Amino acid sequence: MKRIEPKHPLAIRWFHWVNFPVLAVMIWSGTLIYWAYDPYMIKLGSAVLFKFYPTSFYNALGIPHKLANGMAWHFAFMWLFAVNGFAYVVYTVVSGEWRYLLPNKHSFKEAWQVLLHDLFFSRKPLPERKFNGAQQIAYTAVVVMGIGSLVTGLAIYKPTQLHWITALCGGYETARAIHFVLTIGYVLFFLVHIMQVVRAGWNNFRAMVTGWEVVNVKPKSETP
Amino acid sequence: MSLEHDDPNFQREVRKRSIKSFAWFFLAIALVVAGWLWLMSQPDEFGANRALRRVLRFNETVNAAVKSPTHLAKTFDKSQAVKNVKVNGPYGLSDGFDSTSWKLRVVNKGWGADSVIYVTLDDIKKLPRTDVVFDFKCIEGWSQITWWSGVKLSDFMKQYNLGSRNGRTPNLDDVPSLTNYIGMVTPDSGYYVGIDMKSALSPQTILCYAMNGNPLPENQGAPLRLIIPNKYGVKHIKRIGTMRFVDRRPRDYWFERGYDYDCAL
């Protein structure tokens, strides 16, 4: 037997899909800003493994000399990012959705099993819950990252007015570095998220649009 | 339990509900695309998209409302200041400038049409000297701890009776009674900034003639530049030629090139 069961509340779906283009604009405009002073790189000893970013990357995407443009977009869309994120957190807390989302003491062990399963090292079936341990950790982490972006963003946006936030972030330079690393984090999250959504299939994806999914149920459990 | 044995009614129900939800979904996407196209169709206003420009104005209003005059830029010990101070922005520093004959030209709203005063560097140096060691922040994103010395702009205004709307003795404690802005322009008019009065009166805002304890180098804006730690470097105009106390927002070089006006930190 199959049955239609509610999965994602309407509000959550709104927050999710609003965040997608807004975060895209924030990352893009942030990259335009970063170009104007781009000191970050991954080094091994004195050897540069990767520079953020190579000139070819900038040129291919038409990034150079758009600092003013980037700032205008960034400081306009920051409001949407903040308001949407704030509404999401408030809704999640008030509605009780946080119960599915927050990792518990079993999540980390389970996340390891999910990882082994997803990398084809293990054939054990995944736990049949709304969010498994790996998802709980990832989705909670990305919310914490969002708060981190907001805080470090304020720290570099108004370092005199909000000097205590800047100090809290370890200073101006450190705040900027954290702000950048978090952005890289979103990009990595996005890549894994897309892969997982593709793997999980249509029923799972559809639920983020429609709110419900089709589940298999045993006939005897069907009686109300 | 497998798909093949599904009830056709169930499948129809799933399809019906899916189509309905996705119709809403695509409608929402269409609205976002329409909003995007509208945004992109907005004309430029001073180098920035007009709609975005409005948000930047709103941000400045928010900042002006919450701005506290007691919030000062963090200061450092002179020993922490870098020796190699970065040189950025040659705008307004054209060749053929004679620093020996330089005088600061000052105009105040409320004075007679042709009233101007000229102040020499020696006169400025007679006023109390103030040192500011702070983390100089460029709008590009880099920052440097640097040491600057000069005269507090507020001391300068007191000394020469500048800033009031009627041209008489100003009351610097009553900001609304003063002109809204100070406009500063290089002698060649190649670079120009506008400073709001509240920021100008900050005890850290100085008319600067020395860097790292030595006379200000030519490429750092000798003989006199502005140091205003609560704003990005673009506002720290080098080689000030004329200073005007005005109510109307003065022209600003980088504002006209797409940046926000205040550049407040």
Interface size between A and B, measured as CB pairs under 8 A: 94
What pLDDT score does B6 carry?
Answer: 66
Query: Residue ranges of chain A with pLDDT lower than 50?
Result: 221-223
The answer to whether the CB atoms of A37 and B49 lie below 8 A apart is: no
Residue B83 and residue B209 share a domain: yes
Query: Residue ranges of chain B with pLDDT lower than 50?
Result: 1-2, 4
Mutation target among A29, A69, A160 for the B interface, most CBs of B within 10 A: A160
Residue B55 lies in a domain: no
Mutation target among B14, B33, B46, B199 for the A interface, most CBs of A within 10 A: B14
Split into its structural domains, chain A has a count of 1
Residue A52 lies in a domain: no
The answer to whether the CB atoms of A69 and B135 lie below 8 A apart is: no
The half-sphere exposure of A132 on its side-chain side, counting CA atoms within 13 A, is: 16
What pLDDT score does B2 carry?
Answer: 45
Split into its structural domains, chain B has a count of 2
What pLDDT score does A222 carry?
Answer: 47
Residues from chain B contacting residue A210 (CB–CB below 8 Å): 17-18, 21-22
**Which residue(s) pair with B264 in the sheet?**
B231
Q: Would you say the ipTM is above 0.85? A: yes
What pLDDT score does A220 carry?
Answer: 59
Residue B37 lies in a domain: yes
Residue A132 lies in a domain: yes
Residue B70 lies in a domain: no
What pLDDT score does A217 carry?
Answer: 80
Domain that holds residue B190: 76-257
Q: B143-148 long-range contacts, Cβ below 8 Å, gap at least 24?
A: B143/A172, B143/A173, B144/B82, B144/B85, B144/B86, B145/B76, B145/B80, B145/B81, B145/B82, B146/B81, B146/B82, B146/B85, B146/B211, B146/B212, B147/B78, B147/B81, B147/B211, B147/B212, B147/B213, B148/B206, B148/B208, B148/B210, B148/B211, B148/B227
Residue B109 lies in a domain: yes
- Residue B246 CA, distance from chain mean position: 17
Residue A85 lies in a domain: yes
Compute the nearest-CA separation of A123 from chain B (Å).
Answer: 21
Residue B84 and residue B205 share a domain: yes
In sequence order, which ranges of chain A are alpha helices (DSSP H)? 10-35, 55-61, 67-95, 98-101, 107-118, 133-157, 163-168, 172-200, 202-210
Residues from chain A contacting residue B32 (CB–CB below 8 Å): 21
Interchain contact B19–A (C-beta under 8 A): no
Q: Which residue has the tokens 């509240």?
A: B198
Nearest to B230 among A79, A160, A210 (CB): A160
The answer to whether the CB atoms of B21 and A33 lie below 8 A apart is: no
Residues from chain B contacting residue A216 (CB–CB below 8 Å): 1
Residue A114: CATH number of its domain: 1.20.950.20
Residue A156 lies in a domain: yes
Domain that holds residue A213: 2-35+67-222
Residue B164: CATH number of its domain: 3.90.420.10
What pLDDT score does B243 carry?
Answer: 97
In sequence order, which ranges of B77-204 are alpha helices (DSSP H)? 121-126, 153-159, 197-200
Residue B163 lies in a domain: yes
**Cβ-contact A176, B141 below 8 angstroms:** yes
Residue B163 and residue B84 share a domain: yes
B130: left (phi over 0), alpha (psi -120 to 50) or beta: beta
**Cβ-contact B86, B142 below 8 angstroms:** yes
Query: What pTM was estimated for this model as a whole?
Result: 0.91
Residue A195 lies in a domain: yes
Going by C-alpha positions, the residue among B139, B54, B66, B67 that lies closest to residue A76 is B54
Compute the nearest-CA separation of A208 from chain B (Å).
Answer: 10
